[in-house]
Structure 1
């Protein structure tokens, strides 16, 4: 065998071993990566629920979405949190059109119909303006905690109960509408979402 053929064979062998090692590494790390992604997803979605308020894994069992969609927003998923097998909250994933693009929210509502909390999981709003809806230092979403459907779901400038995010009127109105419609959706389908009889 010539030197050229031996070199080619060695290169082929090294390349084959490198490909095999890469594939083995990818297979070996795939499960931990998937598990890490699932954990991140769970933390993002369940950050709206107080600790110790549930003992199940809500995201493992998505609920069927009953009824028609709200007028301005869209409910894309629903989950039930339980404690000792008793429903404590419904977590709704809502999407609404903001100023620069869709805003995705996770909205937790107590079994009694009060808004527990809202978390932004995706948004494309202008940095320094509407983009501050997800800024924990601004905590604009904090003003909605413990509110009910019969509150005045509008900005103060529109005769409502809520402060505007400075410089972001469109974003503020969109997020307020999404939360109000989530509460209305829960109220309309309360029995089904909480796991009662199928009739409403």
Structure 2
């Protein structure tokens, strides 16, 4: 019986080794492809917010890692700079709302030189399907309500849901999610307005540098577009 147990143990151990090897091999073989897909998806989103006609630089490479956790939600976030004929004209800032209903909501916020919001897109979230997921542009046009808006003061009272006296609609049965997104966009736009020159002057250092607490490709995966 002991001999049989040893034999079974060796068989199970062999299966475990083979399975682990297959998983590792698959990860190695697909890592570059996944990274390329993520880059392409990011570029698609960047070009939605800042159309190619408005820039002649590589938005993906003209990127600076910025440390402004109070404004942007994480210790380090990338800022993509748009330039036309070498002249700066807009920023696309990745930011995080830490207080979504089901966890952090990761966003990309585009702002022009006048502080006007060019657009907002959700990169990743875990909000409730059918309720909180209305922040996705593919499911609802609510996220487009930021287009053309500007934050007038740091505590601009208009930047709330209508239930709280603000100018943005809430979702039926899901007020926490829009509150979190509105607050994050407000903080980000205000930060951009007050740091425009330094953000454009910062060195391009995103390529090849891992992001602290990177929400994409690490512990969590982005929702599928």
**Structures share fold, TM-score greater than 0.5:** yes
Residue number in structure 2 paired with 1:83: 84
Unaligned runs of 5+ in 2: 1-24, 203-225
**Is the Cα–Cα contact under 8 Å of residues 72 and 177 in structure 1 kept in the other structure?**
no
1:50-100 CA-partner distances (Å, limit 9, x unpaired): 34111111121322425x432683462111111111111111001112100
The alpha carbon displacement at 1:140 in A equals 0.4
Q: How many residues align?
A: 170
**Is the Cα–Cα contact under 8 Å of residues 111 and 194 in structure 1 kept in the other structure?**
no
Check 1:60–1:163 CA distance in 2 against 1; reply closer, same or farther (3 A cut).
Answer: same
Unaligned runs of 5+ in 1: 1-22
Partner of 1:42, secondary structure, is: helix
Partner of 1:81, secondary structure, is: strand
Stretch moving more, 104-113 or 38-47:
38-47
Could you tell me how far apart the structure 2 residues matched to 1:33 and 1:100 are? 26
1:99-158 CA-partner distances (Å, limit 9, x unpaired): 001110000001111010000010000000001210434210111101111161111111
Could you tell me how far apart the structure 2 residues matched to 1:61 and 1:69 are? 21
**TM-score between both structures, scaled by the size of structure 1:** 0.75
Aligned pair partner of 1:102 in 104, 112, 128: 104
Partner of 2:145, secondary structure, is: helix
In our comparison, the structure showing a higher alpha carbon Rg is 1
Q: CA RMSD in A?
A: 2.5
Stretch moving more, 153-162 or 32-41:
32-41
